[in-house]
Structure 1
Amino acid sequence: MGVFKKLFSYAEDRKGCMVAAMLLSAVATILSFVPYYFLWKMLHEITGDADYSRISKLSYLIFGTTIIYMFTYIAALMCSHLFAFRLETNMKKKGLNALLDGSFSFFDMNSSGKTRKIIDDNSGNTHTIVAHILPDSVNAVLFPICLLVLSFMVSKYVGILIVAAVIAASICFKFMYSDSDMMKEYMGALDDINSETVEYVRGIQVIKIFNMVVESFERLYKSIIRYSEVVNKECQMCRRPYVIFQVCMLSLSALIVPVAYIAMPKSPQASETISLVVFFAAFSGLLMSAFMKVMFFSKNFEMANDAISKLESLFDQMDKNKLAHGDVAEMASHDIEFAGVTFRYEEGVDVLTDFSLRLESGKKYALVGSSGSGKSTIAKLISGFYPVSSGELKIGGVDISKYKRETLEHEIAFVFQNAKLFKTSIYENVKIGRPDASREEVVKALDLAMCGSILDKFETREDTIIGAKGVHLSGGETQRIAIARAILKDAPIIILDEASAASDPENEYEMQQAFSKLMEGKTVIMIAHRLSSIRNVDEILVVEDGKVTERGSHDELIAKDSKYKNLQNLYNQANEWRLS
Structure 2
Amino acid sequence: MFRGSNFVKNVNTMLPMRQKTSTFNLLRSHIGKKGGLMPFSIVLSVLGNLIGMIPFVCVWLIIRLLFTQGASASGNEIVRYAWWAFGFSILFILLYFTSLMLSHLAAFRLERNLRYSAMQKAVHMPLGFFTKNSTGKMRKVIDDNAGIIHTFVAHQMPDLAGGITVFVTTLILMFVFDWRLGLACLIPLVIAFAQFYLMMGKNYAATMRQYMTSLEAMNAEAVEYVRGIPVVKVFQQTVYSFKRFYDSIMDYNKWVKEYSASMKKSMSVYTVAINGFAFLLVPLAIILIFIGGNWQQVSLNLIFYVLITPFFGQCIMKLMYVIDGYRQAGEAVKRIEAMTDEKQQLVTPRPSTPMPAIYDIRFTDVSFRYDGASKDALSHIDLIIPQGKTVALVGASGSGKTTLARLIARFWDTGRGVISIGGVNVKQIHPEELMKHISFVFQNTELFKTSIRDNILYGNPDAVPADIDRAIELAQCREIIDKLPAGLDTKIGTEGIYLSGGEQQRIALARAFLKDAPILLLDEATAFADPENEQEIQQALRRLMHGKTVVMIAHRLTSVTDADTIVVMEQGRIIEKGTHSQLFQKKGLYRRMWNEYQQSVQWDIRKTTKYA
What is the deviation of 1:478?
1.0
Q: 1:556 to 1:236 in 2, by over 3 A?
A: closer
Give the distance between the partners of 2:241 and 2:503, measured in 1 at CA: 34
Tell me if the contact between 2:111 and 2:146 (Cα under 8 Å) persists in the aligned partners. yes
Give the distance between the partners of 2:146 and 2:161, measured in 1 at CA: 23
Give the distance between the partners of 2:49 and 2:115, measured in 1 at CA: 33
Read off the aligned partner of 1:382 and give its amino acid letter.
Answer: I
Alignment of 1:291-440 (within 5 A): 291-317=316-342, 319-320=343-344, 322=346, 324=348, 326-327=350-351, 328-348=353-373, 349-440=375-466
What is the deviation of 1:324?
4.8
- Pick from 272, 275, 278 the counterpart of residue 297 of structure 2: 272
Who is 2:155 aligned against?
132
Give the distance between the partners of 1:204 and 1:502, measured in 2 at CA: 19
- Pick from 142, 162, 165 the counterpart of residue 142 of structure 1: 165
- Pick from 116, 130, 133 the counterpart of residue 110 of structure 1: 133
Q: Secondary structure at the match of 1:559?
A: helix
What is the deviation of 1:447?
0.2
Tell me if the contact between 1:25 and 1:72 (Cα under 8 Å) persists in the aligned partners. yes
What is the deviation of 1:527?
1.2
Tell me if the contact between 1:322 and 1:386 (Cα under 8 Å) persists in the aligned partners. no
Tell me if the contact between 2:523 and 2:552 (Cα under 8 Å) persists in the aligned partners. yes
Tell me if 1:281 matches 2:306.
yes
Who is 2:58 aligned against?
38
Q: 1:471 to 1:208 in 2, by over 3 A?
A: closer
- Pick from 76, 80, 83 the counterpart of residue 60 of structure 1: 83
- Pick from 536, 544, 549 the counterpart of residue 518 of structure 1: 544
Residue deviations 1:284-320, cap 9 Å, x none?
Answer: 2123212211221122223222322222122223x44
Tell me if 1:242 matches 2:253.
no
Give the distance between the partners of 1:234 and 1:338, measured in 2 at CA: 53
Tell me if the contact between 1:455 and 1:461 (Cα under 8 Å) persists in the aligned partners. yes
Q: Secondary structure at the match of 1:309?
A: helix
Read off the aligned partner of 2:371 and give its amino acid letter.
Answer: E
What is the deviation of 1:427?
1.5
Who is 2:67 aligned against?
47
Read off the aligned partner of 1:466 and give its amino acid letter.
Answer: I
- Pick from 468, 478, 491 the counterpart of residue 517 of structure 2: 491
Give the distance between the partners of 1:55 and 1:490, measured in 2 at CA: 86
What is the deviation of 1:214?
5.3
Tell me if the contact between 1:323 and 1:387 (Cα under 8 Å) persists in the aligned partners. no
What is the deviation of 1:485?
0.9
Structure 2 unaligned blocks of 5 or more: 1-20, 607-612
- Pick from 182, 203, 209 the counterpart of residue 207 of structure 2: 182
Read off the aligned partner of 1:22 and give its amino acid letter.
Answer: I
Give the distance between the partners of 1:470 and 1:558, measured in 2 at CA: 48
Q: 1:210 to 1:561 in 2, by over 3 A?
A: closer
Tell me if 1:2 matches 2:25.
no
Q: 1:104 to 1:463 in 2, by over 3 A?
A: same
Tell me if 1:527 matches 2:556.
no
Who is 1:258 aligned against?
283
Who is 1:570 aligned against?
596
What is the deviation of 1:40?
3.5
Who is 1:17 aligned against?
37
Q: 1:517 to 1:204 in 2, by over 3 A?
A: closer
Residue deviations 1:235-282, cap 9 Å, x none?
Answer: 332222333333334432242233323443788853322212222222
Alignment of 1:451-462 (within 5 A): 451-462=477-488
Who is 1:472 aligned against?
498
Q: 1:389 to 1:170 in 2, by over 3 A?
A: same
Tell me if 1:557 matches 2:583.
yes
What is the deviation of 1:110?
0.8
What is the deviation of 1:371?
1.4
Q: Secondary structure at the match of 1:338?
A: strand
Q: 1:439 to 1:278 in 2, by over 3 A?
A: same
Of all paired residues, the percent bearing the same amino acid is 37
Give the distance between the partners of 2:489 and 2:595, measured in 1 at CA: 45
Who is 2:508 aligned against?
482
Q: 1:360 to 1:578 in 2, by over 3 A?
A: same
Give the distance between the partners of 1:301 and 1:462, measured in 2 at CA: 50
Give the distance between the partners of 1:514 and 1:204, measured in 2 at CA: 32
What is the deviation of 1:120?
2.1
What is the deviation of 1:125?
2.8
What is the deviation of 1:549?
2.4
Give the distance between the partners of 2:502 and 2:404, measured in 1 at CA: 25
Tell me if the contact between 1:335 and 1:361 (Cα under 8 Å) persists in the aligned partners. yes
- Pick from 425, 446, 458 the counterpart of residue 472 of structure 2: 446
Residue deviations 1:185-232, cap 9 Å, x none?
Answer: 333333344344455555666666666665544444444443333233
The worse-fitting range, judged by mean Cα deviation, of 93-102 and 478-487 is 93-102
Give the distance between the partners of 2:243 and 2:400, measured in 1 at CA: 31
Q: 1:158 to 1:37 in 2, by over 3 A?
A: farther
Read off the aligned partner of 1:138 and give its amino acid letter.
Answer: A
Tell me if the contact between 1:47 and 1:274 (Cα under 8 Å) persists in the aligned partners. no
Give the distance between the partners of 1:314 and 1:492, measured in 2 at CA: 34
Structure 1 unaligned blocks of 5 or more: none
What is the deviation of 1:335?
1.7
Tell me if the contact between 2:456 and 2:511 (Cα under 8 Å) persists in the aligned partners. yes
Alignment of 1:60-79 (within 5 A): 60-79=83-102
Who is 1:81 aligned against?
104
What is the deviation of 1:3?
1.0
Tell me if the contact between 2:34 and 2:106 (Cα under 8 Å) persists in the aligned partners. yes
Residue deviations 1:354-397, cap 9 Å, x none?
Answer: 32211211212111111122211221111222211122211111
Read off the aligned partner of 1:144 and give its amino acid letter.
Answer: F
Tell me if the contact between 1:323 and 1:385 (Cα under 8 Å) persists in the aligned partners. no
What is the deviation of 1:536?
1.7
The worse-fitting range, judged by mean Cα deviation, of 409-418 and 249-258 is 249-258
Q: Secondary structure at the match of 1:357?
A: strand
Q: 1:3 to 1:576 in 2, by over 3 A?
A: same
Q: CA RMSD in A?
A: 2.4
Alignment of 1:178-257 (within 5 A): 178=201, 179-180=203-204, 181-199=206-224, 215-257=240-282
Tell me if the contact between 2:126 and 2:410 (Cα under 8 Å) persists in the aligned partners. no
Who is 1:536 aligned against?
562
Give the distance between the partners of 1:329 and 1:141, measured in 2 at CA: 63
Q: TM-score, normalised by structure 1?
A: 0.93
Residue deviations 1:45-102, cap 9 Å, x none?
Answer: 3333444443333332222222222211111111111111112222222233233333
Read off the aligned partner of 1:449 and give its amino acid letter.
Answer: A
Read off the aligned partner of 1:11 and give its amino acid letter.
Answer: I
